[in-house]
Structure 1
């Protein structure tokens, strides 16, 4: 004969041999005095659905004198608890997959686990009970129409329930974005700002072939050689490293060599002014400021965040290149020896701010695309300290690296 339970507050008390029947052998609930246990609402619904509980007395003015079954209990719980049914669906699915689970809060088993407050359940290692098992999945349940803050997401297993009650699981964890690319650019490079990029008219071959900087300007039957186009991010990073200076026009830095001292009496002043401009252009800090100004003009504050991430990726010995074709900020290469033997890129990196909120649809699309091209999806979360870099410096500690991927529990 199956026992009945009694709703008391937000848990259901079951007496008799409930501890041996449900908790000790199958990991449901938490022990009370004697052999009684307390069940959470989702645990109760699951036992009612399986027929292991005969019913639950609602009490508390709920309008049901005798024990109610699964349907009535679900209706009451849905009215009392936001998101109850989606949590029940995830709980039941993970139980069917062989996991024991507990609500991730005191005084339930697992309530002392080091998991964020937003976690709904902790799922123990498969086959382990709450009394002895280590937490394998801190599960956060999200409906398709909710949003997910990036802050605090690392270490969670997301269970997204769509409108047809299908469940998709994602693992969110700290990403390891490191590489083994060792290349030091030449100490002196000279470029010219052309629109929204910087052109090196006589670039050393190794800058592209070994460092994978820029894109050569090529074409059929080209008469001009050695031209390398840098993105503003690449140029700003090289200038911040002190190896890139700028010229403004053909014929000399800011036109110095093109000034004719015999033009008129003001010619001397022009030469002096041009010489001053030339000195400033040769100053790497001035080059950084010029490129940052241009980047902010075409992209706004987002340019600073992307530059911070670009420089951090280079410092981690990876090679970041544009991720535009994949809908990301960057794609990264771990170990580039030469572009003639280029490895498969490892990551797709999206740059976001603290406080950013994903929609589950957006997250699913990003993860699906990254998986389809065999790359790891990484979000670089850049806080305010990471973008205060007028001089081009950056602090890697100001960036949090979050990896999100599909998971099959």
Structure 2
């Protein structure tokens, strides 16, 4: 005969041989002393669903009289009314249990509370073969409904379990990332360019700038009579100017957009060139330019080559090791630049991850605080976050 439980507040107490039956053998609940254990509502619901508990006695009625034990259906509805996000959390708990994991709530006094995880983590899943006693945590699980938002700044180190409207679950792994490349190229120090509306043209660019440094895009064509002309994006041009490699010989104001009212320093030195290009970048793109510039500079400092990720819906794609454009490897990452306070919409996150996986690239987010703007694109620091699909 299966035991019954007694709901006391938000926990279900079970006596008899409950410790041996549920905690010692299968990792449910926490010991209370003797053979009694306490179950969270989700654990109790799962045992009711499996038929391992005969029922749970709810709180007394309005007269204080004890009620008869209820089954899974009544207990589930009662818990969904009493506990925030109970339904989606239960679905994830049951799914991971079916996959062979032992789990416990990630808060004291439950076993999972011994793990140093963020408050937003709902449950911890232990390595297969591990129990709450051994404490080998494999997945700190944060449960998210399809219509909830996910703050970008506090998801590193978590397993995201997103439950959609049809109760299907998609798992994502969010980790801090360390991007390091091995591209070895130093640009020349005597580049001269013209600032146009939203790009810089270097008329006599050395071939190495593109062929080995992978800067810019050549102006080419079948009938071209001009050689050495290279178009640089504003972030590429600012980075080169900030490093002392690029000066401006001319600033063209075409009167289009907001940059028609800009007053730009056209001094013939790299520092003033960097300031002029940054001013143009802010005019055409706003504060987002500073965040993208800081990310570009950081990636170059890490000896990677960032190029536009427009075709993939990202800010950049990256190449870790470029020796020559003629023998260019596949890009390894797609990079999206966001603020630390950015919140992911699960639907958009799923789309980004799916696209990156479809083109065999890792999805990275650069969390850039744009409050301290510096004309060369320097920042106090960038937090790098990697998010990918996971099959637990």
Could you say what secondary structure the match of 1:367 adopts?
Answer: helix
Partner of 2:268: 282
Instruction: Tell me the CA shift for residue 61 of structure 1.
Output: 3.9
**Alpha-carbon distance in structure 2 between the residues aligned to 1:371 and 1:226:** 37
Question: What whole-Å deviation, never above 9, does each CA across 1:201-243 have from its counterpart, x for those lacking one?
Answer: 0000000000000000001111111100000000000000011
| Structure 2: gaps spanning 5 or more residues | 254-264
Partner of 1:121: 123
Q: What SS class does the counterpart of residue 88 from structure 1 fall into?
A: helix
Normalised by the size of structure 2, how large is the TM-score? 0.94
Q: Distance between the aligned counterparts of 2:91 and 2:82, measured in 1? A: 17
Identify the range of structure 1 (211-220 vs 174-183) with the bigger mean alpha-carbon deviation: 174-183
Q: 2:365, 2:270 → 1: CA distance?
A: 30
Is the 2:266–2:276 Cα contact (8 Å) retained in structure 1? no
Tell me the equivalent position of 2:346.
360
Q: Deviations over 1:366-404 (max 9, x none)?
A: 00000000000000000145x5212x0514x51000000
Which residue does the alignment assign to 1:223? 225
1-structure distance, mates of 2:196, 2:221: 19
Equivalent residues in 2 for 1:8-407, closer than 5 Å: 8-61=8-61, 65-248=67-250, 281-384=267-370, 387-390=372-375, 392-395=376-379, 398-407=381-390
Q: How far apart are the structure 1 equivalents of 2:370 and 2:226?
A: 43
Deviation of 1:33 after TM superposition, in Å, equals 1.4
Instruction: Report the Cα distance in structure 2 between the residues aligned to 1:18 and 1:249, rounded to whole angstroms.
Output: 79
1:19-77: CA deviation from partner (whole Å, max 9, x where unpaired): 00000000000000111000000000000000000000011548971100000000100
Give 1:175 deviation, angstroms: 1.2
Residue 272 of structure 1: aligned partner: none
Question: Which consecutive unaligned segments of at least 5 residues does structure 1 have?
Answer: 255-278
Deviation at 1:160, TM superposition (A): 0.4
Q: Deviations over 1:326-382 (max 9, x none)?
A: 000000000000000000100000000011111110000000000000000000000
How many residue pairs match? The answer is: 381
Write the distance in 2 (CA, Å) between the matches of 1:103 and 1:359.
Answer: 25
- What is the Cα deviation at residue 195 of structure 1? 1.6
Alpha-carbon distance in structure 2 between the residues aligned to 1:60 and 1:140 = 33
Q: Deviations over 1:294-322 (max 9, x none)?
A: 10111001000000000000000000000
TM-score by length of 1: 0.91
SS of the equivalent of 2:132 reads coil
User: Using the alignment, how far apart are the partners of 2:240 and 2:350 within structure 1?
Assistant: 35
Q: 1:265 matched to which residue of 2?
A: none
